[in-house]
Amino acid sequence: MSSPQTMEQWQALRDSLSIEGRAFINGKYQTAQSGEFFDCISPIDGTVLCNVASCDKSDADLAVANARSTFESGVWSQLPPAKRKRAVIRFAGLLEENADELALLEALDMGKPISDSHTIDVPASANALRWSGEAIDKLYDEIAPTDPTEIGMVTREPVGVVAAIVPWNFPLMMACWKLGPALASGNSVVLKPSEKSPLTAIRVAQLAIEAGIPAGVLNVLPGFGHTVGEALALHMDVDTIVFTGSTKIAKQLMIYAGQSNMKRVWLEAGGKSPNIVFADAPDLDAAAESAAAAIAFNQGEVCIAGSRLLVESSIKDTFVKKVAEALKTWRPGHPLDPQTNVGALVDQHQLKTVLDYIDNGKKAGAT
């Protein structure tokens, strides 16, 4: 069956969609231990997509205990690499087989254009999983050079329980960047998606089971950073935290690691980057198009967005005009319209932040 091609077809698929909002622990969907939930609101039109489990420390304890038990059982951590490889690659294939549903969830939940979520986010997520799966039987251990009477072996072994905390702007892709290496290595994972866009993470947990990844290996806990996120970061039985997000939270996770079991912490913290254009650039039109894309793609909600433009003074006026012209091709529209290339900002808080920046710019003399 071919993918939807029009806004009407995507809306029809949306009307037939059954959206899951519960946590996924030990291979099963379940409500939060407290029974608490929060509304998942679509930034497209403000409608409530579903109720999402609001997990907290008790859910973190349950998920980590299951992840630890599964890890120690060896059902995944000690599985022959060739079998682990097949499961991870099958997982990637299932993302592609369910691309329409995943792309639609991403658009509804986060507000990004369906054309991007369908042709960029889902394929890139599947590719990330597949790359890690392919690496399973290609990264070899080593024999260290030692005295002939000795032998020194360097082995790569799973660390144990990995807690992965991912941001809201590329929900599925950032999750798969974490899941691929962690699963390929034989770890058990507790994934905490952003409360702003948790739906694809919740959905792919079931696809992992269908791929042959045992129950308890991948658990998903939706909820807030100050509740379930903090609980995972402080948990004494979590061996590693992997994170993409703000520098502020990255610093806090390092503190939590020190306050608990000194767990390993791998952080990808946000940082905007400038585009730099000199007068001798061979193609100013191409540079202007790239500068426009660098700030407009994904509604500007990108951790490496080109939010600053440094231009050699002799070409400033000419180049700024070219960038303004290039930005005309980036037009806001309904995210389910395949012709749209700028969708909706993720929520009211982000909208206010952007409007405040615009207001500050105008007050400073921007035109």
Q: Known catalytic residues?
A: 268, 303
Cβ–Cβ < 8 Å for 161, 110? no
For residue 82, the one-letter residue type is A
- Tell which phi-psi region holds residue 295, choosing left (phi > 0), alpha (psi between -120 and 50) or beta: alpha
Cβ–Cβ < 8 Å for 216, 26? yes
Helix or strand run (H / E) with residue 190:
strand 188-192
Query: Helices 122-135 and 99-110: crossing angle, nearest 10°?
Result: 120
Q: How far apart are CA 280 and CA 109, in angstroms?
A: 43
Identify the sign of the CA torsion 253, 254, 258, 262: positive
Identify the sign of the CA torsion 56, 204, 132, 142: positive
Q: How far apart are CA 184 and CA 84, in angstroms?
A: 7
Identify the sign of the CA torsion 93, 97, 100, 104: negative
